[in-house]
Amino acid sequence: MLVFCFGICYYFNVNPYRLFSKIYKKAAEQMCFECQNFIERGSKILDLGCGSGIIAKSFQDFFQAEILGVDIRDNRIYPIPFKIIDGKSLPFSENSFDVVLINYVLHHSGDPISLLKEAKRVSRNKIIIYEDLPEGFLSKLRCKIHGASFNSFFKIKNQASFKTERQWEEVFRNIGLKIIFKKEANSFLIKKGLFILRV
């Protein structure tokens, strides 16, 4: 569904975040509910790869949090506090944030493992990750189409690289992150995973 939507937006040169903001907002509210047992009110949260800022704004309001969004370019449609990054390193000192939020970003990164290590460095408590999982024929196909269409629309040079749940678990273990909660869901023919990690 969203792949088709991105295709339409690309063809007509329309920002998909604005066009489908209600859908993204509803998804962001669901994320807040899923994370409510793991984030304290008033937490300092870094939204790594914040995109439109819709999720960051939802977490800011829901958790009465101090939020900062970072990304390689400014695509915000919400005026959250924001900083441009290079996509490789984070310009913050160790333990700067209570929580680092990474929503459907790692598969677009040129070096997701280094980015995760940076997230670990700047988080004093938890890292929360949502990722598309290429498991099963339809989910693999959907991931491939999504990666190509998203990268084409936003002119991202890195080829999207999706990992299975087991592959992510191995990555987390190898860099010293402990899974304290995980959840799977299927949405629009794609398997999605939520991983909550303790630093």
C-alpha 68 chain-centroid distance = 14
Rounded to the nearest integer, the mean pLDDT of the chain is 88
Share of the chain above pLDDT 70, in %: 84
What pLDDT score does 3 carry? 46
Mean pLDDT of 17-33: 84
Domains and CATH numbers, the chain: 2-10+44-86+97-198 (3.40.50.150)
Residues in the chain: 199
Average pLDDT in the 22-45 region? 94
**Lowest model confidence (mean pLDDT) among 100-104, 127-131, 146-150, 163-167:** 146-150
pLDDT the model gives residue 13: 56
E strand residue ranges, 4-122 = 44-48, 66-71, 82-84, 97-103
Distance, CA of 26 to chain centre: 15
pLDDT at residue 15 above 70?
A: no
Q: Return the HEC string of 22-37.
A: HHHHHHHHHHHHHHCC
Burial of 126 (0-12, 13-18, 19+ CB in 10 A): buried
Burial of 28 (0-12, 13-18, 19+ CB in 10 A): buried
187 Cβ neighbours under 8 A, 6+ residues apart = none
Q: How confident is the model at residue 100 (pLDDT cuts 50, 70, 90)?
A: very high
pLDDT (mean) for 35-47:
97
Helix axes 137-154, 2-12, angle to 10 degrees: 20
pLDDT for 171-193, tens place per residue? 999 999 999 999 998 776 678 99
**pLDDT computed for residue 5 by the predictor:** 52
Q: Give the Cα separation of 95 and 54 in Å (integer).
A: 25
Measure the CA–CA gap between 10 and 151, rounded to whole angstroms. 11
For 176, the 3-state DSSP assignment is coil
Using CA atoms, how far apart are residues 103 and 48, in angstroms rounded to an integer?
8
Q: How confident is the model at residue 14 (pLDDT cuts 50, 70, 90)?
A: low
Whether pLDDT at 111 is above 80: yes
pLDDT over 80 (residue 21):
no
Distance from C-alpha of 185 to C-alpha of 94, rounded to nearest angstrom: 33
* Mean per-residue pLDDT, 62-89: 95
